[in-house]
Amino acid sequence: MEFAKLNDGNQLPLLGLGVWQVPDGSSCENAVRWALDLGYRHIDTAQAYRNEASVGKALRDSGVPRDEVFITTKFYPGGKDPVAEAEHSLRRLGLDQVDLYLVHWPQGGPVRAWPGMERARERGLARSIGVSNFSAADLDAVTGAGSVVPAANQVQFSAVEYRRGLLEACHRHGIALEAYSPLGTGRHLRDRRVADIAARTGRTPAQVLLRWCVQHGVPVIPKSTHRERIAENAQIFDFSLSAADMAALDELDKTRGTDRALERSWWR
Ligand code: A2P
């Protein structure tokens, strides 16, 4: 497994399983257990997904030692207190600490939740803290106001949403950009140009899209509830894309290299 080094010294595995939109119960437990059996060591959940209990159960059932797995959860920003909500998450997960705790989106402004996030880290509830769905301007605000710089900013990011300005802003602040929806929630798998590169390199469209991210140094958390796809999505460290294929994929960007995290902020 390859890692991204975070600004607090912790290491984030470049590949994780995302469980957004996976219902609590057997489908989430199966997906997480399969992923752990197949060698994944990074699982990404959130309070808003309502499946933390299944993630915790699958982790215990897997027999993989706790300290070998990187677990992320996210503060639901409709809530008041990140510390109290982290304690609730840990109870549901059956853990003493998460590896990464993110503000899920900047509701109420980019700074509102941050003092509580810093307290959650001070109390040992999370090893690292960060943000999600933060634009470059949001990052400027939170880094200017707090004493801890977020370790990560998890955003919608793929070849088709190549937010170059946001990636550069993250680099400037020493923040790791993490990619959610790296397959465009499945839509980008049907892109003809992705399919052409996949056919030529003997890989699948999913592997090409995921490899594009990790080759840019960006951690990815593809979601799947199918064992064979979870396995397929992990086979991205045994090949590389040529400079020409990387450049061709870079060209798929439809965001015009934006420094925004989203085209529309649903919480405003
Ligand atoms: P499923 O969960 O039914 O396997 P993203 O990570 O960008 O949000 O994309 C997730 C979507 O892509 C889900 O609908 C998932 O379907 C599908 N998916 C994930 N991996 C693959 C794959 N290797 N091949 C085809 N579809 C995939």
Is residue 16 in some structural domain? yes
What is the position in ligand 1's atom list of the atom closest to the CA of 158?
7
Is residue 213 in some structural domain? no
- Give the global pTM: 0.98
CA–CA separation, 257 and 163 (whole Å): 5
Place of tokens 């590169």: 197
Question: Which of the listed residues 157, 183, 208 should we mutate to test ligand 1's pocket, taking the one with most ligand atoms within 8 A of CB?
Answer: 183
Is residue 264 in some structural domain? no
pLDDT tens digits, residue range 217-232?
Answer: 999 999 999 999 999 9
Is residue 156 in some structural domain? yes
Is residue 45 in some structural domain? yes
CB 226 within 8 A of CB 186: no
Q: What is the mean pLDDT of residues 239-244?
A: 98
pLDDT of residue 87: 98
pLDDT of residue 1: 81
Domain of residue 152, residue span = 3-185+218-225
pLDDT tens digits, residue range 106-118?
Answer: 999 999 999 999 9
143: CA distance to ligand 1 center in Å?
A: 34
Question: Which of the listed residues 180, 191, 224, 230 should we mutate to test ligand 1's pocket, taking the one with most ligand atoms within 8 A of CB?
Answer: 224
Angle, helices 136-145 vs 164-173, to 10°: value is 20
CA–CA separation, 132 and 117 (whole Å): 13
Q: Is the CB of 185 under 6 A from ligand 1?
A: yes
Report how far Cα 19 is from the mean position of its chain's Cα atoms.
Answer: 10
CA–CA separation, 104 and 47 (whole Å): 9
pLDDT of residue 267: 81
Q: Which residues pair with 77 in a beta bridge?
A: none
* Other CB atoms within 10 Å distance of the CB of residue 61: 12
* 265, burial (CB in 10 Å: exposed 0-12, middle 13-18, buried 19+): middle
pLDDT of residue 47: 98
pLDDT of residue 36: 98
Q: State the total domains in the chain.
A: 1
Is residue 92 in some structural domain? yes
Q: Is the pLDDT score of 268 beyond 80?
A: no
* Other CB atoms within 10 Å distance of the CB of residue 126: 26
* CA-nearest residue, atom 21 of ligand 1: 229
- Domain of residue 53, CATH code: 3.20.20.100
What is the position in ligand 1's atom list of the atom closest to the CA of 18?
6
